[in-house]
A and B are shown apart, each in its own frame.
Chain A
Amino acid sequence: MAVDLDTIEKGDCRVRVTPGTGKVELRSTIESMYGDQIRADASAVLAQYGNPALDLLVEDAGALPFVIQGRVEAGILRVLGSPLAALPAAPAALDRNRLRRTRLYLPGSRPRFFVNGSLASADMVILDLEDSVPADQKVDALCIVRRTISAMDWEGAEVAVRLNQGAQGLQEAKALAKSGAHLFLVPKAESPAYLRELDEILESEHSDCGFFLLVESALGLELIFDLLTATPRNWCASLGLEDLLEEYGATRTVGGSESAWAQGRLLNACRATGTQPLASVCPIVDDESALESYAKAAMAMGFEGVGCIHPSQVAVVHRAMHPTESEISWANQVVKSVSDEVSVAVVDGKMVDAPALRKAKKILARAVIS
């Protein structure tokens, strides 16, 4: 292999854009198999930008088409500085109240890992444009992510994108409004006015995507009720404990007493506003029983999901959150007994009514095998 290609990650590519005449030069590890296609894909992106006077050098180590096109596009944007070309709108089956037991981050700067992002079977996959992406990669990440979402089969997982903060986040939301993403993670949520701006942008793009608020600061937590009521798009919320505890000057412990109040405050505000509360990312990777305890404790408090940093955590959390046989049988009985016509019943010697019915339905939803 040429020296150039050795410095490129397998499954990725590098694109250099220079003034020129629309020439596409390619060096690829799979030249004989996909060379013509890669050149055609790169030229197609140039065409989408009105065939500007640019030459491309594409160095490819087996990247999928949406990665190549995304990096070509980012290269063009860096030179032209123009807005993103429109892409056909992609459908997304939106479901505000779906299961979100687990969520897994995929850094937007490592597209080679996207294709297997669904294999861990997390309920939500988060394509990240924010903290895991270096500043000089953010344009590439946006361009690639925009083309990735509709190109892949996510096996029923919900696809979220974590936006950057401020004006950059607003631009990204506009670009991704019809990309096939289901919802957007809004990091360091602190400003109800900002949420309203985001909401307006999505409205203007005719998008019904939801928001997943990440509250990562003391101020954000103080304003939690205003944040959650700022727009009807707030589907779920979570605390960013790393940043928050740093601001507190506290140390994270296994017992979690240092964040107990903050978690309770978030949970309370979520339940008061009909927002799904999700527990923070769990850093425990090697200790299955400790992770199970974390998930069970979060569930006992009322949280409906846990953040994962590693695929191996997903199955463990799903197992921990799976209802017991007796819970399932109770839930089945409640669902049979309580309805619009029969609003109160007795199950296992206890009175059950509408709230029990809601709880029973949630239990049955968690009784999935994944």
Chain B
Amino acid sequence: MSVMNLTKNAVGREVPYRGYTGIYGEIPTGTKAGAPLRSVAQYPSNGDKRAANLVEAIRASGLKNGGTVSTHHHLRNGDEVAIQIFSACEELGIGDLKWFPSAVFPCHENLIPFLERGVIRSIEGSLNGPLGDYASRGLLREWSVLRSHGNRYRSIQAGEVHIDLAVIAAPACDSFGNMTGAIGPSACGVLGFAVADATYADHVIAVTDHLVDFPCAPWQIPGNDVDQVVVVDRIGDSSKIVSGTTVMTSSPERIRIGENVAKFALAAGILRDGWSFQAGAGGVSLAFTRVASQIMRDQGITARFVRGGSNKYLVEMLESGLAKVLLDGQTFDLEGVRSVRENRNHVMTSPYTSYNLHGKGHFASMIDLAVLGATEVDLDFNANVVSHSDGRLLHGIGGWQDALFSPCTVLAVPTMRGRVPILRRRLTTFCGPSELIDVVVTERGTAINPRRQDLIQKVEDAGMKLTTLEDLLHGAETLAGGAPKEADQSGDIVALITWVDGTILDTVRRTELPK
């Protein structure tokens, strides 16, 4: 990681190349990248693509040293496939690989030895937990590149990332390779994060612990994109893939924030008959979903559609008729899995349909209200979602940047996390521009971006009191005893933060982690 020339991008952050220029960036020219052409002559005519085991499958794939291997994260913290992949690679003497996961979880700490032994040379994908710390300490040999779900799809589609081998963990699969996440002992619901991999990779291996007779229908990923199928004992720990049940938060702070979001949505005229919203599965989102549902029941109104992170509360909305359709990008609990299996109005989506910037539209821009989190917000309504205020990598970007394209984006955040104010004068890491962030709702009050005079007028006319980010910051800093010392960002670059079009928004630097 040598010293190099950095230039300022359109939001004033210094980046090594391809700096961010604006929300939509440039209109792309050219065509999509493509997977290699194949012939049915190259595959078993009886449709049985099973390999003896993962080692044989990877050998047959032709994966070489230095190649790129991709995986999806629908098995979340219960994933047991990533370690099987790299163990097999090591057995075959293949190393120096780039791992291209759609996200990583604490369970992937078990891959650190493969990093140390050089089987994995670099990771491109969201970093957090132990791997995030590993990266923050500067131990990865190459910069990591953090992308949103939408940008990951777009970068594969554009050929910016070339996948040599995609290994897709499939909760249910037939011997032809048709797969779904909706059934099986390791069911995860939706498999959307693997769609780009299946479509564009040179070679695709499906790994399943639940082989079903052909056809595995309905499938989310067709076997026509799959080269080989491997059956293993276990692809994951089902108790960590989806939770048994999602528990409503009892935290007064999260409940208050959720209530305040609903109050805002009502006052702004967004919560009305036929509306749509997207909220995650965190405590604030659940509290918001509960309050919004009650308001809708009281007023006899329904939502045209809702988008998740599906969980039991969104499923209840769907089944009770409060929402007509549930668009699902990622399934979080057993109720979500059951519903996606049984209900035709619970629709499996992927980053292609929901989030891809370089396509013929995306769902994110059509959702009336998006309720998101943040790690930091500055006084201009820009925000951070990947790092702590001490510079440590905390989260991946996920779908956060993509969801910002909603006509009304709300960041629902507490004013402080512990002692540390969320509001600050300068973001540690720049992840989202203020043009797309409309409202900040906290437990102490709601502030609307001055760019949105239309929203301000509406809610004030409805009698709702607003505050300002300056006042919220002042309150938080008074309690905290002042602003926190800014992170030392003089260290080497360890990761690049991209925008949804692939340009570079900011860099993450090496930090000293607390002992």
Contacts and interface: CB of A to CB of B under 8 A. Distances in A.
A34 B421 CA distance: 11
Contacts of A41: 481
A229 to B, nearest CB: 38
A74 interface: no
B389 interface: yes
A33 B420 contact: yes
B136 to A, nearest CB: 12
Nearest to A63: B419
A193 interface: no
Interface residues of B, number: 27
Contacts of B253: 116, 119
B418 A10 contact: yes
A65 B443 CA distance: 21
Contacts of A31: 514
B139 interface: no
Nearest to A314: B252
Interface string A284-321: 00000000000000000000000000011000000000
Contacts of A32: 390-391, 485, 487-488, 511-512, 514
Nearest to A40: B481
B470 to A, nearest CB: 16
B427 to A, nearest CB: 14
Interface in A186-239: none
A10 B419 CA distance: 10
Contacts of B487: 32
B481 A65 contact: yes
Contacts of A61: 418
Contacts of B482: 34, 37
A31 B487 CA distance: 11
Nearest to A153: B475
A64 B252 contact: no
A119 B252 contact: yes
A10 B251 CA distance: 15
B479 A151 contact: yes
A71 B132 CA distance: 34
Given A1-B514, A311-B252, A152 B481 contact: no
Given A2-B515, A65-B480, A30 B390 contact: yes
Contact of A62 (B256, B420, B479): B420
A119 B481 contact: no
A11 interface: yes
A127 to B, nearest CB: 16
A171 interface: no
A17 to B, nearest CB: 21
Contacts of B419: 11, 30, 34, 62-64
Interface in A158-210: none
Given A2-B515, A153-B475, A33 B481 contact: no
A145 to B, nearest CB: 16
B5 interface: no
Nearest to B389: A33
Most buried by A among B480, B481, B485: B481
A118 to B, nearest CB: 9
A40 to B, nearest CB: 9
A41 B485 CA distance: 15
Contacts of B47: none
Nearest to A120: B252
A30 B420 contact: yes
Interface in B248-279: 250-253, 255-256
Contact of A36 (B475, B485, B514): B485
B476 to A, nearest CB: 10
A115 B444 CA distance: 11
A74 to B, nearest CB: 19
A35 B250 CA distance: 32
User: On chain A, which size bracket covers the interface?
Assistant: 20 to 34
Interface string A37-52: 1000100000000000
A239 B513 CA distance: 53
B511 to A, nearest CB: 8
B390 A116 contact: no
B192 to A, nearest CB: 34
A28 B485 CA distance: 14
A34 to B, nearest CB: 6
A119 B443 contact: yes
B481 A34 contact: yes
B488 to A, nearest CB: 7
A7 B251 CA distance: 22
B484 interface: yes
A153 B475 CA distance: 9
Nearest to B419: A62
Contacts of A153: 475
A29 interface: yes
A116 B480 contact: no
Contacts of A119: 252-253, 255-256, 443
Given A30-B418, A36-B485, A115 B479 contact: yes
A119 B251 CA distance: 10
Contacts of A30: 390, 418-420, 484
A311 B250 CA distance: 9
A120 B390 CA distance: 31
Contacts of A28: 514
Contacts of B390: 30, 32-33
A147 to B, nearest CB: 12
B443 A116 contact: yes
A28 B390 CA distance: 12
A36 B419 CA distance: 14
Most buried by B among A28, A34, A65, A312: A34
Nearest to A113: B252
A3 to B, nearest CB: 11
A151 B476 CA distance: 11
Contacts of A33: 389-390, 420, 484-485
Most buried by B among A32, A35, A36: A32
Interface string A45-85: 00000000000000001111100000000000000000000
Contacts of B514: 1-2, 28-29, 31-32
A63 B488 CA distance: 22
A183 to B, nearest CB: 23
28 contacts: A1-B514, A10-B418, A11-B418, A11-B419, A29-B514, A30-B418, A30-B419, A32-B391, A32-B485, A32-B511, A32-B512, A32-B514, A33-B389, A34-B419, A34-B480, A35-B485, A36-B485, A37-B482, A41-B481, A61-B418, A62-B419, A64-B419, A64-B480, A65-B480, A116-B253, A119-B252, A120-B252, A152-B479
Interface of B: 250-253, 255-256, 389-391, 416, 418-420, 443, 475, 479-482, 484-485, 487-488, 511-512, 514-515
Given A37-B481, A119-B443, 20 more contacts: A2-B514, A2-B515, A28-B514, A30-B390, A30-B420, A30-B484, A31-B514, A32-B485, A32-B514, A33-B389, A33-B420, A33-B484, A33-B485, A34-B481, A35-B485, A62-B420, A64-B481, A115-B416, A116-B253, A119-B252
Q: Which 6 A-B pairs have the closest CB atoms?
A: A62-B418, A33-B484, A65-B481, A119-B252, A311-B252, A32-B390
